[in-house]
Structure 1
């Protein structure tokens, strides 16, 4: 590596919703917004990395070239990344690595998706090597069933209540009111959440995020480019974690209780005498280690709230509080804007829904706006460090740390 920093010089989004248009339309909109934000001419972009979108045909499988063509061939190199829900972070890391290696100066990273109505079901036909097909078709285990198991675990272990889960939705809905890119921008009460249909006990409809169309884009540049051109590079990427699980913790997400003798003490960093660490905790560990920062340095977090209960899990996985303490922070108002550690000031997936290749990039956009002081109506005062967290199928995890 050549050393130096990689700067976020531009961010842009297409509003989330159900628009029924091509994912390319959304991606181009977000890319142009990011380029405009950066003040970087398209001809200066020498790398385009696209987040693959598997539901959108061949063009989705070659998203990097698809976006480069739609923006107008300029000779840039292209790459395409796929990491399920962590796709955007992996694409970001690809671009960052080439800049750090001195092989690129300016990179455009784009993720966009057009999603079907309902659950993200696998392709039709028998697919015996596809875990999604197996769990959807043979077990009936759609994503909300998993979310409900996680929620029930919090209730059994830590005394969480359906009212706590509803409070997460209420908080995020309030944050999303001021976000012009959010799909859902309306006040929600706890009674609304608890009165909505039960999808998978104990979770109600308003506890679970939707699927959406949308796009996000980020322009990265080297320190040298920023110095030479005067581009705005006030936000620095401090770390991108894309680690996979470590044996024996290959059952994703499930923490080993201190009373469980089934496994010896294990440290996901490779030791055999350290504390037990879950996969999601190891994602955060790697991010903090690379950034040279710790959870006490973090001013805000954008986390993967597929369900309300999962937001509480992520707070502990990121070490923003201890195990079983997330509900207390939530109840005290510490995770809302104005509190000690605001979580999902964007409104999160509760207000956006899932647009899989775009959502990890959307988190980076939000943190960037927050660190610049540009998140009108939801601004975290004095924000200097932000962290994101995301997770995808097949052992994909991601966390991005950004700072001023």
Structure 2
């Protein structure tokens, strides 16, 4: 048995100032229309939770089911930081594979506050996330900057390399009607933007955004009964956890006395996520046609390109400069425009990545279409051991 994507839907990213459920419901209805499926035919609905939008955000599955109309469908809600959407996909896919339903709806949406993310829930001295901000002063851009500095020290990457990532992704985003930022930029504009966390400037770092995304998943047998042929297949979903001595915060070179005494794992966490998906799908990185990677910063995109095996360590800059990761290149990276063009809407973003995989593999991506796309990879990572990799094929 296999699971296919019957429909995709998204609410455009931006700062709209409306309740998150509006974005999720709009995306869900679009996905249902795309699939040609009535909401009452959905046997299972799972909502990726948002923790910044009150109780309805925590019980997102019920929030969306109620808004769409109580139908008796089974529901679930899940939260896994930046991998929330992929965990929701995994839950729905697993239920279909188990034969417990034929059709499932996956929805994620967020309404974000102004500025960078802050801890949720007040003072919590037993919470590592709260401690990260209060004791280390490590806002998200701070550790993005640490990763960038490490890359510069190890591989000689430069601010000009980071700016080139933004230029590439902004060009792709300018072709995506769902993106928040739809204007090409120059390297000079990136390098002239305000410094936020040295060496990263404002245009090196993704924004926080409102947005929504949804998928209708089904068993391949159900798709065949509906006369659907050539549907995009979810070949793998990886949600593996780190292997000790990976640390809770996953900051570069952050270690304890106990962890430094233990040999490092065979693969770093991000690489392990991708390779577990490759193994499940029965492919290797050479077969990837394009990839959606989690560009929280321009420097992190270069790390991801290496971690998922598109090139050896230290050579992502060379791949970038040769044009291989641009639209029209050998293996385009972030043809959607990435987070550089969308910003973070945490419960929706991994689902949005799979929406892009599906559109590309269907050949419906318009001006940003990857020619001959047959295998797409989507990867992301959150703190506390959460992350995901999804392989989709046609």
Same-fold call, TM cutoff 0.5: yes
C-alpha contact (below 8 Å) 1:305/1:311 kept by paired residues:
yes
- What TM-score comes out, normalization by structure 2 length? 0.96
Question: Equivalent of 1:188, from 185, 190, 206?
Answer: 185
Deviation digits for residues 177-222 of structure 1, max 9, x if unmatched? 1101000000100000000000011000000000000000000001
Measure the CA separation in 1 of the matches of 2:123 and 2:85.
Answer: 29
| 2:146 is aligned with 1:156 | no
C-alpha contact (below 8 Å) 2:81/2:347 kept by paired residues:
yes
Measure the CA separation in 2 of the matches of 1:232 and 1:208.
Answer: 40
Q: SS at the partner of 2:368?
A: coil
| 2:162 is aligned with 1:140 | no
| 2:72 is aligned with 1:75 | yes
Deviation digits for residues 203-243 of structure 1, max 9, x if unmatched? 00000000000000000001121111124661000000001
Summarize the Cα distance change of 1:85–1:39 in structure 2 as closer, same or farther, 3 Å threshold: same
| 2:352 is aligned with 1:362 | yes
Q: SS at the partner of 2:367?
A: coil
C-alpha contact (below 8 Å) 1:9/1:233 kept by paired residues:
no
Q: Tell me what 1:60 maps to.
A: 57
C-alpha contact (below 8 Å) 1:40/1:231 kept by paired residues:
no
Q: SS at the partner of 1:84?
A: coil
Measure the CA separation in 2 of the matches of 1:266 and 1:198.
Answer: 34
Q: Tell me what 2:170 maps to.
A: 173
C-alpha contact (below 8 Å) 1:226/1:233 kept by paired residues:
no
Q: 1:266, CA displacement in angstroms? A: 5.1
Summarize the Cα distance change of 1:249–1:135 in structure 2 as closer, same or farther, 3 Å threshold: closer
Question: Equivalent of 1:198, from 171, 195, 202?
Answer: 195
Deviation digits for residues 148-178 of structure 1, max 9, x if unmatched? 0101111111010000000000000000111
| 2:125 is aligned with 1:128 | yes
Name structure 1 gaps, 5 residues minimum.
Answer: 268-275
| 2:98 is aligned with 1:101 | yes
Measure the CA separation in 1 of the matches of 2:260 and 2:58.
Answer: 41
- What TM-score comes out, normalization by structure 1 length? 0.94
Question: Equivalent of 1:39, from 36, 39, 47?
Answer: 36
| 2:225 is aligned with 1:228 | yes
Q: Tell me what 1:387 maps to.
A: 377
Q: 1:264, CA displacement in angstroms? A: 5.8
Q: SS at the partner of 2:366?
A: coil
Size of the alignment, in residue pairs? 389
Q: SS at the partner of 1:377?
A: helix
Question: Equivalent of 1:288, from 275, 278, 281?
Answer: 278
Summarize the Cα distance change of 1:98–1:280 in structure 2 as closer, same or farther, 3 Å threshold: same
Q: SS at the partner of 2:237?
A: strand
Deviates more, 1:379-388 or 1:120-129: 120-129
Q: SS at the partner of 1:175?
A: helix
C-alpha contact (below 8 Å) 2:241/2:386 kept by paired residues:
yes
Measure the CA separation in 1 of the matches of 2:75 and 2:142.
Answer: 38
C-alpha contact (below 8 Å) 1:172/1:347 kept by paired residues:
yes
Q: 1:42, CA displacement in angstroms? A: 1.3
Q: CA RMSD in A?
A: 1.5
C-alpha contact (below 8 Å) 1:38/1:231 kept by paired residues:
no
Q: SS at the partner of 1:30?
A: helix
Deviates more, 1:147-156 or 1:135-144: 135-144
C-alpha contact (below 8 Å) 2:245/2:260 kept by paired residues:
no
Q: Tell me what 1:113 maps to.
A: 110
Deviates more, 1:68-77 or 1:91-100: 68-77
C-alpha contact (below 8 Å) 1:241/1:286 kept by paired residues:
yes
Q: 1:62, CA displacement in angstroms? A: 0.5
Question: Equivalent of 1:337, from 313, 324, 327?
Answer: 327
Measure the CA separation in 1 of the matches of 2:43 and 2:158.
Answer: 51
| 2:342 is aligned with 1:352 | yes
Q: SS at the partner of 1:389?
A: strand
Q: 1:86, CA displacement in angstroms? A: 0.3
Q: Tell me what 2:306 maps to.
A: 316
Measure the CA separation in 2 of the matches of 1:123 and 1:107.
Answer: 30
Q: SS at the partner of 2:122?
A: coil
Question: Equivalent of 2:291, from 276, 280, 301?
Answer: 301
Measure the CA separation in 2 of the matches of 1:10 and 1:125.
Answer: 39
Deviates more, 1:178-187 or 1:130-139: 130-139
